[in-house]
Structure 1
Amino acid sequence: MGLPEDATADEIKTRYKDLSKSMHPDRGGSADAFSELTAARDAALTSRQP
């Protein structure tokens, strides 16, 4: 997602929203790329939980 390792949950969520606007299949993006983006967001948020 192009974020530093120490990105906060809010930064991750904001970056995901920005990227998903262009990568969503309903907006002309690839379903595979959108799935990868969502998986990256989920993994990044999971690693931030205490």
Structure 2
Amino acid sequence: MLGVAAVLLVSSVSWFGSDRAGVGIAQLVLGVALAVVGFLLYRRAPRT
């Protein structure tokens, strides 16, 4: 999940460059949300 969040955050820059700022903002919001959920899941995972 953290990998998907990273890809969304990195690729959102291209939407701003192509005059599609709305898509870029939506992708940023989704990327941040997935990063938060992924981080919380990572913290709750048992360590072996």
For Structure 1 versus Structure 2, the TM-score category normalised by the shorter chain is: 0.5 to 0.7
Report how many residues are paired: 38
Q: CA RMSD in A?
A: 1.6
Answer yes or no: is the 8 Å Cα contact 2:15–2:23 preserved in 1.
Answer: yes
Runs of at least 5 residues in structure 1 that lack an aligned partner in the other structure:
1-6
Q: Percentage identity across aligned positions?
A: 11
4+ residue runs of structure 1 moved beyond 4 angstroms? none
Choose between structure 1 and 2: higher helix proportion.
2
Query: Which structure ranks higher in relative contact order (CA pairs < 8 Å, sequence separation ≥ 6)?
Result: 2
TM-score, normalising length: structure 1: 0.57
Runs of at least 5 residues in structure 2 that lack an aligned partner in the other structure:
44-48
